[in-house]
Amino acid sequence: MLPCTQKIAELPFKPKGVILSGGPYSVYEANAPHVDPALFELGVPILGICYGLQELAWHHGKNVLAGEKHEYGHAYLTIERHSESEEHIDRLFKGMEKEMEVWMSHGDKLSKLPDNFHPIASTSNAPFAGIASTSKPYFGIQFHPEVTHTPKGKQVISNFAIEICKARPDWTMEKFVDKEIERIRVMVGKKGQVIGAVSGGVDSTVAAKLMQEAIGDRFHAVLVDNGVMRLDEARTVKETLTQHLGINLTVIDASDLFLGRLKGISDPEKKRKIIGNTFIEVFQNQAKEIAKAAANTPQAGDIEWLLQGTLYPDVIESVSFKGPSATIKTHHNVGGLLEGMHLKLIEPLRELFKDEVRALGTNLGIPEDLVWRHPFPGPGIAIRILGEVTPEQVRIAREADKIFIDEIQAAGLYRKISQAFAALLPVKAVGVMGDKRVHDQVIALRAVETIDFMTADWYPFDGQFLKRVSRRIVNEVNGVVRVLYDVTSKPPGTIEME
Ligand code: XMP
């Protein structure tokens, strides 16, 4: 993955083919990014997707215009077949049916076919939804083959890579594991030591297990219990990581410190800052302790490395043609904040997407429950308790969340739902319990389905399920009198409530 402005003369390797991806610009705009024209001298196959198609057309005669309307959503693509003499231009859709469902998202369109290009596919709204050069292995498609809403999109990408570029599909998880373990061993050396924070989430656990496989106890995992993790989380994470996965783990119970600093704070961003800064402080102190102890072990050297669970989407975010994006998540920046330790970063997951991290986790023997866990935010339950975070509020939110998640699991819905939790609202409501009138707290349940967490839809539970969860929470969690279900999509809502 390189920025589109990459100078072809400075390519670090000779590619077998090039995919020009989509992007938010219009090729005819003054500030639009363009590829180095030398790309078209490279003599390798090119596939342009969306903006990439338009860039391809722009280079071949500037035939791109703003469309009358933005096309966004499902469309039916009709694939054109050519005569035998022109069969080579049909290779992109080899083995595919004449019609397929695709996902479109564009405002601009081709006004006219570039010279020496043929249409290879169309939709009712886009006569040039697919084009191919008659003389060179250049292809362009207006739809997005890379999204799940284009069910046969993988086949299109595979046809390009294997049929057209002649690349061999020899990447397997087993080979990745072996190569990565070897790479870590060489990088860290025979005595080098690595430290890294774990949270109980998928990414940090998989990264930690990979380090443990590579260098054993010279990897030091640290779990900071911030007092706002899920019910019983610190204990269960410790059990899984140490007993099941054999990871060298130190757990620091800093609950009192975190909750003390959160006292009286209701502003969501202030809560995030306090938790983030306190985490760095606690982790840093612990890192120094571990480094001191490590310095006394004759068979190992100093701690020189910091493990980070960076995934490929974070890397993509930083490969913008404008330079590294400013929006990389702050928790991925702890390295620079470990003052005085001058740690180098080690990022074994940086070439993987989330589904590949899960496959890697399974390959490394991490329990399925953990591999398929819903994401949990760094600031934890603190941003699910709207208003002030007190130990009593933490108890209520945790107990309600546990019941909700247990019921989701019992109903076999856990994997279908992308993220679910209980939040505690900062209001009180009236109810009758027994014969008494009570004035107590309100729990809001949230469950969403999403692919990328950028947009999300609330999960349509059946009424009996909600009834069961509500009854259990009101009966079993002291201090709760009502349960609500959040039916807001993202956007306009966010997944978390703060
Ligand atoms: P939102 O609420 O922005 O959430 O729709 C999208 C995803 O990000 C997670 N999230 C966070 N994760 N620190 C984190 O580590 C945070 O401050 C934070 N805020 C939201 C959220 O749980 C969801 O998966």
For residue 426, the domain's CATH number is: 3.30.300.10
Q: Are 36 and 159 part of one and the same domain?
A: yes
**Domain of 280: which CATH number?**
3.40.50.620
Answer yes or no: is 266 a known binding residue: no
The verdict on whether residue 202 carries a ligand-binding annotation is yes
User: Where does the pLDDT of residue 334 fall: very low under 50, low under 70, confident under 90, or very high at 90 and above?
Assistant: very low
Kindly list the protein residues whose Cβ atom lies closer than 6 A to any atom of ligand 1.
272, 331, 375, 377-379, 419, 453, 490, 494-496
> Closest by alpha carbon to 441, among 371, 390, 488?
390
**Alpha carbon of residue 230 to chain centroid:** 21
Q: Is 493 inside any structural domain? A: no
* Ligand 1 nearest-atom number relative to CA 453: 6
Rounded to the nearest angstrom, the distance between the alpha carbon of 329 and the centre of ligand 1 is 10
Q: Select which of 101, 146, 163, 449 is catalytic.
A: 146
* Domain membership flag for residue 35: yes
Q: State what percent of residues in the chain have pLDDT above 70.
A: 95
What is the number of the ligand 1 atom nearest to the C-alpha of 376?
22
Distance from residue 377's CA to the centre of ligand 1 (Å): 5
Nearest CA to ligand 1 atom 24: 375
Distance 253 CA to ligand 1 centre (A): 23
Which residues contact residue 331 at a Cβ distance below 8 angstroms, ignoring those fewer than 6 apart?
Answer: 276, 378
Q: How far, in Å, is the centroid of ligand 1 from the Cα of 429?
A: 28
What gap in Å lies between CA 275 and CA 292, rounded to an integer? 26
Report the alpha-carbon distance of residue 93 to residue 89 in Å, rounded: 9
- Residue 494 CA: nearest ligand 1 atom is 5
203 known ligand binder: yes
- Regarding pTM above 0.90, the answer is no
Residue 146 appears among annotated catalytic residues: yes
Going from the C-alpha of 392 to that of each of 13, 226, 242, 252, 270, the distances in angstroms are 58, 15, 30, 22, 20
Quick check: 121 and 94 in contact, CB under 8 A?
no
Return the bridge partners of 196, or none.
221
Q: In the predicted model, what is the mean pLDDT of the chain?
A: 91
57-78 confidence digits (pLDDT tens): 999 988 888 877 777 888 999 9
- Per the annotation, does 250 bind a ligand? no
- Token pair, residue 154, equals 């993988």
For residue 50, how many other CB atoms are within 10 A of its CB? 22
Residue 470, annotated as binding a ligand: no
Residue 412 counted as an annotated binding residue:
no
Q: Do residues 183 and 66 share a domain?
A: no
Do 433 and 365 sit in the same domain of this protein? no
H or E element in which residue 209 lies: helix 202-215
Domain boundary among 110, 143, 164: 164
| pLDDT tens track for 18-34 | 999 988 888 998 889 99
pLDDT at 295: 78
153 shares a domain with 186: no
The residue type at 275: I
Q: Using 50, 70 and 90 to split pLDDT, how confident is the model at 490?
A: confident
On whether residue 351 sits in a domain, the answer given is yes
Nearest atom in ligand 1 to the alpha carbon of residue 490 is 5
Q: Whose CA is nearest to atom 16 of ligand 1?
A: 377
**118: containing domain:** 8-164
What does the pLDDT look like over 174-227, one tens digit per residue? 999 999 999 999 999 999 999 999 999 999 999 999 999 999 999 999 999 999
Q: Are 182 and 279 part of one and the same domain?
A: yes
Identify whether 379 is part of a domain: no
Do 323 and 354 belong together in one domain?
Answer: yes
Among 116, 138, 164, residue at a domain's last position: 164
Q: Kindly give the distance from the C-alpha atom of residue 332 to the centroid of ligand 1, in angstroms, as a whole number.
A: 14
Q: Determine the atom of ligand 1 nearest the C-alpha atom of 456.
A: 5
- d(CA 498, ligand 1 centre) in Å: 9
- Number of structural domains in the chain: 3
Reported as a single tens digit per residue, the pLDDT across 429-476 is 999 988 899 999 999 999 999 877 888 899 999 999 999 999 999 999
Residues 209, 352: one domain? yes
Q: Which residues, in sequence order, are CB contacts of 315 under 8 Å at separation 6+?
A: 1, 350, 351
Closest C-alpha among 16, 8, 1 to residue 37: 8
| Residue 20 backbone dihedrals phi, psi, to 5 degrees | -95, 120
The separation between the first and the last C-alpha atoms of the chain, rounded to the nearest angstrom, is: 34
CATH classification of the domain holding 129: 3.40.50.880
> Pick the catalytic residue: 59, 60, 144, 220?
144
Residue 328 has pLDDT above 50, yes or no: no
Ligand 1 atom 19: residue of nearest CA: 377
pLDDT at site 66? 82
Give exposure, 350-375, as e/b (b: 16+ Cβ within 10 Å). Answer: eebebebbbbbbebbebeeebbebbe
